[in-house]
Structure 1
Amino acid sequence: MSSRSVIIDNTDAQVQYSPGWQANGSPNEYKRTTSNTETQGASFTLKFVGTSVAVYGTLDIVTLPNTTYVLDGGNPFPFSGQPQSQIQYQQVFYTSPSLPYGEHTLVGSCVDGGGRVILDYFVVEIPLEIPTNTSLSTPTSAVPTTLGSKPTPPTTAIVGGVLGGLLFLMTILVAYLWYRQFRDPGRRRDTKPSFTSAEQDAQTRPFNAPAMASSSYITTQHDAETPNHYSETPRHRDVISTVERHKSPHVSLQWNQSQQPPSYSM
């Protein structure tokens, strides 16, 4: 019967520990976590639903584990490991025989003190086709993986960091383009004056000559300065008025109606 593999980490809630265990881990271990103990009698209990189970851990070069594994209250299975020249990661500590699909219990214990037990993760086999005569469900906290493949460290943190960096760079780029747009517009206007337009405007715009003094003012001032020459005043005022009228259209002629021009007799 075909099956699929489900990995249960040592920190999963399905695993229960007695006193004497410490948390540890390294980049070469699954999810960078392990449960370690050197305490005699320290144990763990795993309840799972499947057809088999395997225990994986790390073998230290200093001390080797001296452990036993009991499945469903049966006979203990010992494991101590072999000396190695370097640390061995993701090593098999225990593999159960084929079991009927259902709920099972595995208990692992440290037999004597001084031997370091480094527990990493468990692999449970679950059939692809669940027998119809069972009502058990697969634990939701387990993560499926391929049979016999070694788990790799999660890449969620790496992908999140890369995406966050790209988003930050895009934000800086958009802010820079916005700043350039408002400070230095793409289309610059020509600020040089157009002499041709100025000349045409000067030709079409009417010339406003300054208003000249009225003839009444000139007459009054001249009369004040030369009071004894009344015979020449009318002629002088007439000449000035005629000149000012031809010189500027804005000059208004105002005659003094009280003064009559003298008559000349021959």
Structure 2
Amino acid sequence: MGVPPLAPRSALAQAVAQAEALDGNFVVTIRVECPGLWLEPGFKYRAEKLFAIHLEAWGSNLLVVTLETYSDAWLTMDTRDREQPEVYASNAPRLAAALQAISALLGSAPTPGDENRHAAPSETGFKDLRGEGAAYDDSWGTFEGLNRASLLRSRIPQSEDEYEQITEYPVRYFTIQRDGRTLGFVWASVGDASAGYVPRTAAGDEAFDAGAAWLLSLREAHGQGLAPLAALDWLAKCPARPEIGLIAEDAPQEASSLDALEELSGRY
């Protein structure tokens, strides 16, 4: 049957055509971000960047293909260091089958990548680290929240005219959606001067791009002297801006803590 043709006028087809037209020594780099589904018993969740495929072709002599994953569904312990045997059982065989198919296509077994605080890659997926203990008592709380906040805030100018970004109180929040997909959550503390936006990790860069606009709106509310909960009400009454997402509820929901909302946004 041969290899299926590339979709006409697709970015990949254009890159291949440009590479084939080159003469002499050259390196061609192609990176494709892939959406996909990860499973829990009875549920399916879509991630807009479940994998990324990075390909480097060094002339006709060397081809390097790197597969990156942006989900913890293949691990025996999630990124908050909690065991997840059912999630692992539903998803790890899928990753193993994909790696086997790629190995067959390329005629070579994969070389596992470097270990990190959450995972140890192997030729068939990831090793079981449950017997080795967590590298940190709370690696999510120690690193991930700060990483996401830094990435989000890098998209807007610095300012001191804004709400505090952390709170120990419960929070009320609105879900932000675009085209039926959840991008994140805009929130306000019930007990202090804190408010912000939590991007939904599975939505990828869109969640952070939209979040930057919501943070700027919160900054505007702060400039008007509105308390956090009043700012949340003000946002709900502002003219709709579909390009940054729409508020999904008629009234705000409540989470027991900002940490609980962060966990919701990070997992689903």
TM-score by length of 1: 0.22
Greater RCO, CA 8 A, separation 6+: 1
TM-score by length of 2: 0.22
